[in-house]
Structure 1
Amino acid sequence: MDYSMLFYIIVTILILQFILETVLDFLNARKFKDPVPTELTDVFDMEEYKKSQEYKKTNYKFGLVSSVFSLGLTLAFLFFGGFEWVDVISRGISENPIVNALLFFGIIMLGSDLLTTPFSYYQTFVIEEKFGFNKSTPGLFFLDKIKSWLMMIILGGGILSVIIWFFQWAGTNFWIYAWGVVAVFTIFINLFYSKLIVPLFNKQTPLEEGSLKSKIEDYARKVGFELKNVFVIDGSKRSTKANAYFSGFGKEKRVTLYDTLINDLEEDEIVAVLAHEVGHYKRNHIIFNLTATILLTGFTLFLLSVFINNPEISLAIGVSQPSFHAALIGFGILYSPISEITGLVMNFLSRKFEFQADDYAKHTFAAIPLVTSLKKLSKKSLSNLTPHPAYVFMHYSHPPLIDRIRNLGK
């Protein structure tokens, strides 16, 4: 296929994705004023409900502006030779394929992040601040940025270097070796994320002795769940929103509770949330998601190996000299419709897994404290109680609150 045709296919994909997301956001926004289901009328009082409506509308308008900017920036790069300009700069510094690729992606990612930083700053210090969520400071905000850049350079740059090296060594069979490296890295990060990555951004402390820890340990013994690691994370230094998550498996598994969660919920509600997380582990959702991620990575790398040597893909993004890194950009955009489909499947399964984890908590602990905890967390985060079904289908990894409440009430 001629590179000019590929260019217009790439542009069409970007525009169609923008239109789809804009329509979905519009449909979702139309549902903001729908009557709240009877089961959820106790989540907000009238003043809180008005605040949640305003929060959703503000984020909707902000999201529209930021997505228009993002699309405009990408199209400008394509139409006015932005990728060629960056490629010339990187080649002028080094002709080594690996160094050249690292410079190419480094310039693009750093430039993109700098251009979009005002949007994330506004989101944090204007919108989140206005509605009482933000606890961060400008110093912490920019420190997080710097840490994220360093992580991207070390981890992202390292993986990209290995993949290009395999490509130079093994040709189109590089995907097999690259898949092996990425699979090992994925498993390693899943096991040690809380030990290696989280401490760079947050402080984690073991849950202190007391009635809450005793209740958690009693529940864990009851369901035969070996739990040595229950940690509290200082999420309150950035936001008032609460959360809990499960990470790792085997001896490295641990449950992490946000300090805001402990402050906002009763002890039985916290145990119910933990029971939900244990349900994910007991139903093998952790292993399934890890396996699915690795298989999808292999599928993507295989498709990349099929197209990476086609110079038309590089030329389609406007560069004059075909290369692995230029083809990677073109392939990434061309692959995005497939990524949307796999994302839909994963979201569907994720919503199903959430119901299963809720059921596990209901049968091994109790439904009522999980219901009240879900309501409190939704209230605290001013969440949308009436999302549009199409938006849920496309974007939600968790079922809407009303569906979870009704499932727990069966």
Structure 2
Amino acid sequence: MQPTTLFYIIIGILIFNYISEKILDSLNEKHFDDEIPKKLVDVYEEEEYKKSQQYKKTNARFSNFTSFITTAFTLAFFFLDGFKYVDDFARSYTEHPILVALIFFGIIMLASEIISTPLSYYSTFVIEEKFGFNKSTKKTFWLDKLKGLFLSVILGGGILSLIICFFQLTGQNFWIYAWGLVALFSLFMNMFHAKLIVPLFNKQSPLENGELKTAIETYAKKVGFTLNNIFVIDGSKRSTKANAYFSGFGSQKRITLYDTLINDLDTDEIVAVLAHEVGHYKKRHIIFNLISSILLTGFTLYILSLFVNSPILSEALGVSKQSFHIGLIAFGILYSPISEITGLFMNYMSRKFEYQADNYAKKTFNPNALISSLKKLSKNSLSNLTPHPAYVFVNYSHPTLLERIKNLES
């Protein structure tokens, strides 16, 4: 295959991804004005539903604009030999493969931030502000950006450096060592993310003694779930939207409740949400997701090892000198159709797991409390109650509210 042919295959993949995404978005947007299903009529009052429709339409228009801008910039970068110029710039300072790659990706990341930051700022301080969700200050927004960039440089740069080092030392077998590295990192982050990363952005406090803590501890004892770590996170620092999540294993496992969740729901509803999270743990969903992620990473790295050293990948992007970082860019795009398929499978499994966790909460606590909590959370986040089935199949990691309620009532 000629480099020019491969170049146009890459461009074709980028354009196909954009068009298919827009088709799904268009199908979903046509359902924004649908009537609320009978089982969900008590979620919104008439004015609230109109507000949710307006929120969906505003976000859809903004999403169409941002995806067009990012796709247009990406295609222009490809056609104008952007990778060649960035690679030449990096090599003007050094020929060390790791340093060249770090400079190369540093420039790409900086360019991406220059494009995405104004869009993110508008989304936060115009759209989310307009609909009453935003609680973030401009100081918090910019600090989050700087902290995120710092972590990307330290963690992302460190992992990339080690992977290239493995490639330099072991050649095609680098994927085995890289896989081990990523697996260990994933396990470590799953165990200690809440202790090491979250505190950089949010304050976490142990749940205070009182009615809620007693109710949670009573439920945990009932189902034989050892739970010593219940934390409240200051989610209201950035948004009024509520959430709860489970993380860690063994002695490091913890339940984290957003303060907005505690404010929005009553005690039984919060315990029902926690019962759902305990269901994920009892059904070993977290372990499945971690193992699946590690296996998929290993498969991807193995396929990468077969092609990354091929000069045609670099030549297709206009770079005459074969290098790991250019091959990685080309491979990432060529691999994206496979990634989409694995993503569909993982979303399917995630939706299946949500039903299982709901069923666990239904059997061990109170289905009506979980239903009312789901309705309140949907209402407070102005959720879409009538998404298109195809859009759900491709993009949703959770079943729709209607599907979850039907399951809980069955």
1: distance between equivalents of 2:116 and 2:283? Answer: 39
CA distance in 2, matches of 1:36, 1:298: 44
- Tell me which moved more, 113-122 or 314-323: 314-323
Gaps of 5+ in 2: none
Please list, as runs of the form range in 1=range in 2, the aligned pairs for 1:312-327 lying within 5 A after superposition: 312-327=312-327
Q: Report the CA distance between 1:175 and its aligned residue.
A: 0.1
**1:291-341 Cα distance to aligned partner (Å, 9 max, x none):** 000000000000000001111011112222221000000000001000000
Query: Structure 1 length normalisation: TM-score?
Result: 1.00
Identity across matched positions, percent = 66
Corresponding residue SS for 2:132: coil
Which whole-Å CA distance do the structure 1 matches of 2:315 and 2:278 have between them? 50
Runs of at least 4 residues off by over 6 Å: none
Listed as ranges, the matches of 1:50-69 within 5 Å are: 50-69=50-69
CA deviation profile, 1:110-138 (whole Å, cap 9, x unmatched): 11111111100000000000000000011
One-letter code aligned to 2:181: V
In structure 2, C-alpha distance between the alignment counterparts of 1:170 and 1:251, rounded to whole Å: 37
Map of 1:308 onto structure 2: 308
SS in 2 for 1:110: helix
The alignment's TM-score, normalised by the length of structure 2, stands at: 1.00
- The number of equivalent residue pairs is 410
Query: Aligned pair 1:48/2:48, yes or no?
Result: yes
1:113-124 paired onto structure 2 within 5 Å: 113-124=113-124
Q: Which residue of 2 aligns with 1:188?
A: 188
> Which segment drifts farther, 110-119 or 51-60?
110-119
Aligned to 1:387: 387
For residues 93 and 153 of structure 1, the distance between their equivalents in structure 2, rounded to whole angstroms, comes to: 19
Deviations 1:259-309 (A, max 9, x none): 000000000000000000000000000000000000000000000000011
The question of 1:253 aligning with 2:253 is answered: yes
SS at 1:134 equivalent:
coil
| Match in the other structure for 1:270 | 270
* 2:97 maps to 1:76: no
Q: In the alignment, which residue of structure 2 is the partner of 1:373? A: 373
Aligned position for 2:149? 149
Once the two structures are TM-superposed, the CA of residue 375 in structure 1 deviates from its matched residue by: 0.2
**CA displacement 1:155-199 (0-9 Å, x = unmatched):** 000000000000000000000011001100000000001000000
| Cα distance in structure 2, aligned partners of 1:226 and 1:141 | 37
* Deviations 1:326-371, CA, capped at 9 Å, x for gaps: 0000000001000000000000000000000000000000100000
Identify the residue that residue 92 of structure 2 maps to in structure 1.
92
In the TM superposition, residue 154 of structure 1 has moved relative to its aligned partner by: 0.5
Cα deviation, residue 81, structure 1: 1.0
Q: Offset of 1:94 from its aligned partner?
A: 1.3
Letter of the 1:211 counterpart:
E
Classify the secondary structure of the residue corresponding to 2:232.
Answer: strand
Which whole-Å CA distance do the structure 2 matches of 1:143 and 1:38 have between them?
A: 44
- AA aligned to 1:26 is S
**Alignment correspondent of 1:215:** 215
CA shift for structure 1 position 26 = 0.4
Distance (Å, rounded) in 2 between the aligned partners of 1:318 and 1:391: 36
Q: Which residue of 2 aligns with 1:351?
A: 351
**What is the letter of the counterpart of residue 317 of structure 1?**
L
Equivalent residue number for residue 282 of structure 2: 282
SS of residue matched to 2:92: helix
Aligned partner of 2:115: which letter?
Answer: L
Counterpart Cα distance in 2 of 1:318 and 1:37 = 53
| Residue aligning to 1:11 | 11
Matched residue type, 2:73? L
Matched, 1:228 2:232: no
What residue in structure 2 maps to residue 24 of structure 1? 24
Q: Does 1:108 align with 2:104?
A: no
CA distance in structure 1 between the partners assigned to 2:149 and 2:93 by the alignment: 21
**Secondary structure of 1:225's partner?**
coil
Amino acid aligned to 1:150: F
CA RMSD after TM alignment: 0.5
In the alignment, structure 1 segments of 5+ residues that lack a partner are none
* One-letter amino acid of the structure 1 residue matched with residue 131 of structure 2: F
Q: Report 1:390-401 matches (<5 A).
A: 390-401=390-401
